[in-house]
């Protein structure tokens, strides 16, 4: 099997403008995220040091893909949330670092598969795994990562951990299938959109927070609260991404702007615009989405409606509401520096740029 030797490209920081949120450069965003991660910096450093060692590859190609995707500039958002959840639960046992790695592995494997499905050639400003090594290698390495993550779950000896993460992987797959079925379709409601959000982002973050509580052997009320926190953070996280797709630039997003629209994905900013549109505008949106490719004029027409109906701003405001819900979920825990750190992380995620 041949591979294509593409070299990752470097992208300088770029600026993103928005109505409801502060415009920040990538460097400033990195500083914000680093500040939010400060309470678990040592754990993240330990994870970064050990993460590649958890997957033993029998072939050089698999090792190359693994190294590429694990060192592609990801912020380790999911492990950081897991570590902070574990701190809140006072869990620091033997499975702390491995379960953080599992969270990152599940996310990484899903990205490898998603890039193949979407035919994406860029991930975090660098060539995606499938762009370099081809679709078959990317899918197989994704499967390998999923398999290793499953082994690591089993190594906890806790069936609830296995069930929680296994359910998350299943729902993530179902969410991707639902989104795939809905491409270029106007018959995609808000309910459908949030089903995709649940599978695409919400369930994994909810599950890793819940796993922290399970490992700490917390009562069901507290583990459910952690699940609710993660779910709402996941919704806010993805809503922000979907809003940025209609306002960002290639360098800021690490992917081409308007990717969702070009790929036929009916995300909330467009759903809002469609709901508020006149009959004539609805017909225009239907006509544009029905095409297998869109001209610059089509994108300009859609963007005019997004701006007219403040769809991006409404999506950003909803992201803020879900962040507030996330923080409210933690009220079952007594006030503490650990709880405050987790709340601050949720707030800071609203200012991230990928």
137-187 pLDDT, tens digit each: 999 999 999 999 999 999 999 999 999 999 999 999 999 898 888 877 777
**Which token pair is 340?**
């405050």
Predicted pLDDT of residue 32? 73
Class of 48-346 per CATH? mainly alpha
Instruction: List average pLDDT for each run of 10 residues in the chain, which is 354 residues long.
Output: 31 33 54 83 94 91 92 85 97 96 96 88 83 94 95 97 96 90 80 93 97 98 98 94 76 59 85 95 90 82 94 94 94 96 86 49
User: What pLDDT, on a 0 to 100 scale, did the predictor assign at position 351?
Assistant: 65
pLDDT at 278: 96
φ, ψ at 126 (rounded to 5°) = -125, 160
305 Cβ contact list (under 8 Å, min separation 6): 273, 277, 281, 284, 285, 311
In this prediction, residue 248 carries a pLDDT of: 53
Dihedral over Cα of 266, 271, 273, 274: its sign: positive
CB within 8 A of 287, min separation 6: which ones?
Answer: none
Taking only the tens place, the pLDDT of each residue in 37-87 is 899 999 999 999 999 899 989 999 999 999 999 887 778 999 999 999 999
- Residue 261 corresponds to which tokens in the numbers above? 């629209």
- Integer angstrom CA distances of residue 101 from 23, 36, 177, 204, 207: 32, 19, 25, 13, 14
Query: What pLDDT, on a 0 to 100 scale, did the predictor assign at position 161?
Result: 97
Q: What's the pLDDT score for residue 29?
A: 65
Distances (CA, A) of 345 to 100, 309, 340: 16, 31, 9
Output the pLDDT for position 102: 97
CA–CA distance, 91 with 87 (Å, rounded to integer): 6
Query: Across-strand partners of 127?
Result: 122
Phi, psi (5° rounding) for residue 131?
A: -70, -30
Residues 6+ apart with CB under 8 A from 111: 69, 123
- Beta carbons within 10 angstroms of residue 120's beta carbon: 19
The pLDDT value recorded for residue 117 is 87
> What is the gyration radius of the CA atoms in the chain, in angstroms?
20
């Amino acid at each position: 099997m041949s591979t294509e030797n593409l070299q990752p490209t470097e992208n300088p920081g770029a600026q993103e403008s928005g109505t409801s949120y502060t415009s920040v450069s990538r460097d400033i965003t990195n500083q914000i995220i680093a500040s939010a991660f400060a309470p678990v910096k040592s754990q993240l450093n330990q994870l970064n040091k050990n993460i590649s060692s958890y997957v033993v590859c029998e072939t050089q190609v698999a090792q190359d893909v693994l190294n590429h995707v694990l060192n592609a500039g990801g912020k380790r958002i999911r492990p950081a949330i897991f570590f902070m959840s574990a701190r809140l639960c006072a869990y620091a046992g033997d499975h702390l670092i491995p379960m953080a790695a599992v969270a990152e592995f599940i996310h990484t494997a899903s990205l490898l598969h998603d890039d193949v499905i979407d035919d994406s050639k860029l991930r975090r400003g660098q060539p995606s795994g499938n762009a370099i090594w081809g679709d078959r290698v990317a899918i197989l390495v994704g499967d390998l990562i999923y398999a290793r993550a499953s082994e690591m779950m089993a190594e906890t000896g806790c069936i609830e951990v296995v069930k929680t993460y296994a359910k998350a992987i299943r729902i993530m797959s179902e969410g991707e299938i639902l989104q795939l079925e809905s491409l270029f379709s106007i018959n995609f409601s808000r309910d459908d959109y949030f089903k995709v959000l649940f599978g695409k982002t919400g369930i994994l973050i909810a599950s890793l927070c819940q796993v922290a509580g399970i490992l700490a052997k917390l009562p069901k009320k507290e583990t459910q609260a952690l699940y609710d926190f993660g779910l709402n953070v996941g919704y806010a996280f993805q809503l922000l991404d979907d809003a940025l797709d209609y306002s960002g630039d290639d360098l800021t997003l690490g992917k081409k702007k308007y990717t969702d629209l070009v790929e036929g994905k009916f995300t909330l900013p467009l759903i809002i615009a469609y709901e508020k549109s006149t009959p004539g505008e609805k017909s225009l949106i239907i006509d544009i989405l029905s095409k297998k490719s869109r001209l610059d004029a089509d994108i300009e027409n859609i963007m005019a409606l997004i701006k007219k109906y403040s769809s991006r701003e409404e999506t950003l405001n909803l992201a803020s509401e879900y962040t507030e819900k996330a923080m409210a979920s933690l009220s079952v825990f007594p006030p503490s520096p650990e709880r405050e750190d987790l709340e601050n992380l949720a707030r800071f995620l609203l200012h991230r740029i990928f």
